[in-house]
Structure 1
Amino acid sequence: MTIIGGLVQIAIAPLLHRLRALLPSEIAGLVIAVVGLTLAGLGVRYGLGINAQQQKINPDYVIVAGASLVTMTVLNIWSKGYGRMFCVLIGMLVGYAVSAGLGIFDLARIVPEGGLGVLRLPRIQHVGWSVDPVLIAPFVVASLAATLRAMGDVSNAQRINDADWVRPNFGSLAGGVSANGVAVMFCGLVGSCGINTYSSTIGLSGATGVTSRSVGYAIGLGFCALAFVPPMAVALAAMPLPVMGAALFFTAAFVFTSGLQMITARMLDARKTLVIGFSFAMAVVADLYHEALMGVPIVLQPIFGNSLVLGTVCAVVLNLIMRIGVRQQASIKLAPGGINREAVERFLSEQGARWAARRDIMHRAIFGVVQVLEVVGDPPGGVEVEASFDEFNLDIRIRYVGAPLTIPERKPSPKEIVESEHGERLLAGYLLRQSADHINAQGNGASVEMILHYDH
């Protein structure tokens, strides 16, 4: 069954680029924020020693988690170099030491009576394969959940590695999901449980600034080596829960904040606000009322029992519904007798919010349009401003009757600006060229159309 889960992810990966409209940047940010919230919730439970059987806070666990978390935080903020780079590892070692002192971490209780050899070859005698048709549907839904998690983690990794990141790269997402599917299939072949991307490692990269691929290769080789060294594997597998909780809580802060930054980088109107707010609330509900939601049919349990999946499904469905009535092209007509520039700014701001456009791009577009209006003045017949948008392009068309604006290649000199009758127009044209990614002015002797293009 695990192999089927891997095959589902591999089959989905090539189709991800077709889902671009369903997963815009603000929804990707929501997914990452929900992942961070989930990690924080796990960290709190582990750090306080709370579980289904024990609802009282364990003071010893709090001491261990607090010591680990304080160490990580202090090193991350007030140290440099290796101290900051290994802040989480050092904090975990401190947690191990405090746990041993309080009797929480005791290897003697973990090691079997016969002891452990220093080296041992992995065994696969337990491997067995079976297929249960009843479980196919739940495994498919679980694979979709794993795919969403992987997409959120890969998107977050893209953002950390690219200062100019604006939206998920679906080619990279497809590669990450495919790799995850191959790994899951391998786990099924050798009789292990399925795996998925680990969001805390992305948060750790954000906290330390270490994103080198070489580090990933080294860690992978290290885990392979652990398979042959049972004592080290047992020591890691027996990590005290409060230490794990501190690490999860620390890295969750960076994952959660990264998701919020992706959301707030876009302009949001009431529609988008409701999509984000309702979906985030449903993700929280999935955590708070997990037991109650698990009463749904078994096919739906992977959706309602997972905060990430429930939040993402709600976001995608609501986003599709809220797109009804939103036009990708809109225009405003400014009557002659006093051009209302505030009306233009309000028009573009409202459209940018409806489209969930990037704030910086809309600010540049507003600047460009206002510049044109200031130069052309109050032409007879007024001015028409038309804006069209898709996820990758924003085009502004300005139509009026009059002389076309000159767009110089070079900045006009102070002398040209002062002495020339058209010096102001030359300077405005040059500023527009610098502001827009592409600009074009067309005229037929009377009517003029200026096109300002912005890469989104």
Structure 2
Amino acid sequence: MPRKPSNIVYSAHEKPPLGTLFALGIQHATLALLFLVYPLVAAEEAGLSFADTQVLITSCIIFMGIATIIECWPKAGAGMLLVQIPNTPHLPLAVQSLSAGGLPLYAAMSLVASVSQLSLTRFTNALRAVFPPEICGVAVTMLGIALAPPALRRVFGLAQESGGLVDTRYLMVSFITLFIIIALAIFSRGLLRLFAVAIGAGAGWLIASFAGIAPTPADTFAQLPYVDIPRIGFPGFAWSWALLPAAILTGFISAVDMISTVVSMQRMDDADWRRADMEQAGRAIRANTFADMGAALTGGFASASSSAAIGVAFATGATAWRIGIIAGGVILLAAFSPKLVGALTIIPTPVVGAILIYASAFLIVAGMDLILSRRLSDRRIFTVGLSVLAGLTVALLPEVVHSTPDWAQPILESPLSVSTAVAVLLNLFFRIGIRQEASLPVTLGDNAFQVTTEFLEQQGDLWGARRDVIAAAIPVVAEAVETLLDTETAAGALELRARFDENNFDVTLLYQGEAIEVPTLRPSPEDLLGDAKAVARFVGYMLSKRADKLVIGMEGERQALSLRFEH
């Protein structure tokens, strides 16, 4: 069992009291349902009818609930608190598919995306190298940037029928909604903070009604029952070869997004976290994929694990998977209320814009945090910078996209797709010429600490190792180098060799001389006043405690002292 961090009250495998369990579950479910604005945006952009929008939303709710239960159940999914929300990377694909061929075309393209997402689980170990944290960070950052245009259009009331004129009423409602959400999230405590989004949306809806910009429910809305059996069904399939590349890429991006979410939860729940458990990430992707297939076959919008739910889990200090089971059940029950689903389809446009702005800001900062979790060499700086610029290019210069062939436009219209694809390709390209092993000679006249620091920091930047791992390795390796040279255990010089493989950061000291002893019991402090061998024994004991693994052996005719730091 991982060691629980001090800020976590109920960790993944702990069982909160029943009342707390239900309260936290309902809270997560409420937040997840608010993010139904994503498929609503897609339906509005595509001009779907009220009936088709109802099917899209109802099926999405059902499989959000099912996916949440599967994800959180230890024997079925990842066994961690992964509450599902509508999948934001699906927005560009959904808008294009629904506009071109309605629910049948989106169902087919969503199924293709699910299959491509599932295919990546066959290579979970290789994904660690293909999708390092900075690449996941680019995807998450551009996910937030991709939400900005539809969000800002709704904030300023720049609908097509407005002729491009700013409606100050929309701006007022959006500003007040966003202000309430942010103020409660920052300055309040308890339930007010936890339900900041819900309270802000409710207040914004009320103000929009007074301002006369709340949408009028369709005639069919009044006829919807409060409780009824969900009406979903197979929408049929349509096909578009032009959208096929976008569907495949959407699946890959969804997998990257899932990996990022799982890594965030792992880091939050383990005080000693060092590296991603890709097997757990693979289980999470598989569970999400099967739910997405069900949604596609019933005309629904795809789902994915919620970054916002991670923020709520951090704020409450509760990451227990049982909370997710309750949340999934509550989400499922919501599908049995057509009136509730219908109400969600008529959320005022400026309120939707404010919530999207909130989500966009959260995702942009979360992506930057992932990017900066690794040491950045020139290669990685250009990988991140150029991929973000590529995404911004298609967002700011749509005429560039329109000048490309018809088959490429569905792919290039999405800043998220472009930036993620460019980041992956640049990451693979810039890996060319990088050796996984490097060495440096060190002599008695060198400053051991300075030489070790410069060498390990340089290699850490080049390999993109975690900052904390390099920082922890430097004093340990420097102490070993200094001891071997100063005590004349090494005959005047040694070779400092480092190796990195994404799982471990290994440093080996090769020298001519005697092997140092590593006692199993702690030597007495008086040994530091003894001869050189006694000092070496004391340092050997300390090295065995400060490194994750210490191995002493031979490499040819030289002694080899190997220090391992788990990455």
Q: TM-score range by the shorter chain?
A: 0.7 to 0.9
Which blocks of at least 5 consecutive residues in structure 2 are unaligned? Answer: 1-104
Against the structure 1 CA distance between its residues 211 and 70, is the aligned structure 2 distance closer, same or farther, given a 3 Å change threshold?
farther
What is the CA-CA distance between 1:318 and the residue it aligns to?
A: 0.7
Report if the CA contact (8 A) 2:147-2:360 is conserved. Answer: yes
Report if the CA contact (8 A) 2:221-2:339 is conserved. Answer: no
Report if the CA contact (8 A) 1:76-1:208 is conserved. Answer: no
Q: Deviations over 1:371-418 (max 9, x none)?
A: 012212354341210111101011111122334333333443334434
Residue 204 (structure 2) aligned to one of 95, 102, 112: 95
Distance (Å, rounded) in 1 between the aligned partners of 2:236 and 2:463 = 49
Amino acid of the structure 2 residue aligned with 1:332: L
Against the structure 1 CA distance between its residues 61 and 232, is the aligned structure 2 distance closer, same or farther, given a 3 Å change threshold?
same
Task: Report whether the alignment pairs 1:346 with 2:454.
Answer: yes
Distance (Å, rounded) in 1 between the aligned partners of 2:275 and 2:310 = 19
Task: Report whether the alignment pairs 1:32 with 2:140.
Answer: yes
What is the CA-CA distance between 1:147 and the residue it aligns to?
A: 3.4
Higher relative contact order (CA 8 A, sep 6+): 2
What is the CA-CA distance between 1:204 and the residue it aligns to?
A: 5.0
Amino acid of the structure 2 residue aligned with 1:434: K
Q: Which residue of 1 aligns with 2:500?
A: 389
Task: Report whether the alignment pairs 1:142 with 2:251.
Answer: no
Distance (Å, rounded) in 1 between the aligned partners of 2:555 and 2:421 = 51
Distance (Å, rounded) in 2 between the aligned partners of 1:317 and 1:113 = 48
Distance (Å, rounded) in 2 between the aligned partners of 1:124 and 1:159 = 34
Amino acid of the structure 2 residue aligned with 1:398: L
Distance (Å, rounded) in 1 between the aligned partners of 2:383 and 2:221 = 56
Residue 477 (structure 2) aligned to one of 369, 382, 390: 369
Percentage identity across paired residues of the two chains:
28
What is the CA-CA distance between 1:430 and the residue it aligns to?
A: 3.0
What is the CA-CA distance between 1:444 and the residue it aligns to?
A: 9.8
Distance (Å, rounded) in 2 between the aligned partners of 1:113 and 1:160 = 39
Against the structure 1 CA distance between its residues 113 and 175, is the aligned structure 2 distance closer, same or farther, given a 3 Å change threshold?
closer
Against the structure 1 CA distance between its residues 380 and 429, is the aligned structure 2 distance closer, same or farther, given a 3 Å change threshold?
closer
Against the structure 1 CA distance between its residues 156 and 118, is the aligned structure 2 distance closer, same or farther, given a 3 Å change threshold?
closer
Report if the CA contact (8 A) 2:449-2:475 is conserved. Answer: no
Amino acid of the structure 2 residue aligned with 1:437: D
Distance (Å, rounded) in 2 between the aligned partners of 1:113 and 1:81 = 35
What is the CA-CA distance between 1:440 and the residue it aligns to?
A: 2.1
Amino acid of the structure 2 residue aligned with 1:129: G
Q: Which residue of 1 aligns with 2:544?
A: 433
Residue 80 (structure 1) aligned to one of 178, 189, 209: 189
Q: Which residue of 2 aligns with 1:313?
A: 421
Report if the CA contact (8 A) 2:148-2:360 is conserved. Answer: yes
Distance (Å, rounded) in 2 between the aligned partners of 1:423 and 1:66 = 70
What is the CA-CA distance between 1:109 and the residue it aligns to?
A: 4.1
The secondary structure found in structure 2 opposite 1:239 is coil
Report if the CA contact (8 A) 2:213-2:348 is conserved. Answer: yes
Which is further off, 347-356 or 249-258?
A: 249-258
Distance (Å, rounded) in 2 between the aligned partners of 1:448 and 1:385 = 12
Q: Deviations over 1:93-144 (max 9, x none)?
A: 11112112212224x443438743434444458x542443xx1462353143
The secondary structure found in structure 2 opposite 1:112 is helix
Report if the CA contact (8 A) 1:388-1:395 is conserved. Answer: yes
Distance (Å, rounded) in 1 between the aligned partners of 2:260 and 2:555 = 47
The secondary structure found in structure 2 opposite 1:162 is helix
Which is further off, 17-26 or 264-273?
A: 17-26
Distance (Å, rounded) in 2 between the aligned partners of 1:299 and 1:109 = 38
Distance (Å, rounded) in 1 between the aligned partners of 2:401 and 2:542 = 57
Residue 256 (structure 2) aligned to one of 142, 146, 151: 151
Which blocks of at least 5 consecutive residues in structure 1 are unaligned? Answer: none
What is the CA-CA distance between 1:450 and the residue it aligns to?
A: 0.9
Against the structure 1 CA distance between its residues 129 and 207, is the aligned structure 2 distance closer, same or farther, given a 3 Å change threshold?
same
What is the CA-CA distance between 1:180 and the residue it aligns to?
A: 3.7
Report if the CA contact (8 A) 1:72-1:91 is conserved. Answer: yes
Amino acid of the structure 1 residue aligned with 2:205: Y
How many aligned positions are there? 451
Distance (Å, rounded) in 2 between the aligned partners of 1:137 and 1:390 = 39
Distance (Å, rounded) in 1 between the aligned partners of 2:258 and 2:462 = 27
Distance (Å, rounded) in 2 between the aligned partners of 1:109 and 1:48 = 22
Report if the CA contact (8 A) 1:151-1:173 is conserved. Answer: no
Which is further off, 334-343 or 63-72?
A: 334-343
Aligned ranges 1:277-426 → 2 under 5 Å: 277-290=385-398, 292-338=400-446, 341-377=449-485, 379-418=490-529, 422=533, 424-426=535-537
Q: TM-score, normalised to structure 2's length?
A: 0.71
Q: Which residue of 2 aligns with 1:451?
A: 562
Q: Deviations over 1:313-371 (max 9, x none)?
A: 10111111111111001101124544554233212111111100111111222212210
Which is further off, 259-268 or 114-123?
A: 114-123
Distance (Å, rounded) in 2 between the aligned partners of 1:111 and 1:207 = 42
Which is further off, 313-322 or 411-420?
A: 411-420
Q: Which residue of 2 aligns with 1:160?
A: 265
Task: Report whether the alignment pairs 1:249 with 2:367.
Answer: no
Distance (Å, rounded) in 1 between the aligned partners of 2:176 and 2:399 = 32
Aligned ranges 1:216-295 → 2 under 5 Å: 216-290=324-398, 292-295=400-403
Amino acid of the structure 2 residue aligned with 1:77: I
Against the structure 1 CA distance between its residues 323 and 10, is the aligned structure 2 distance closer, same or farther, given a 3 Å change threshold?
closer
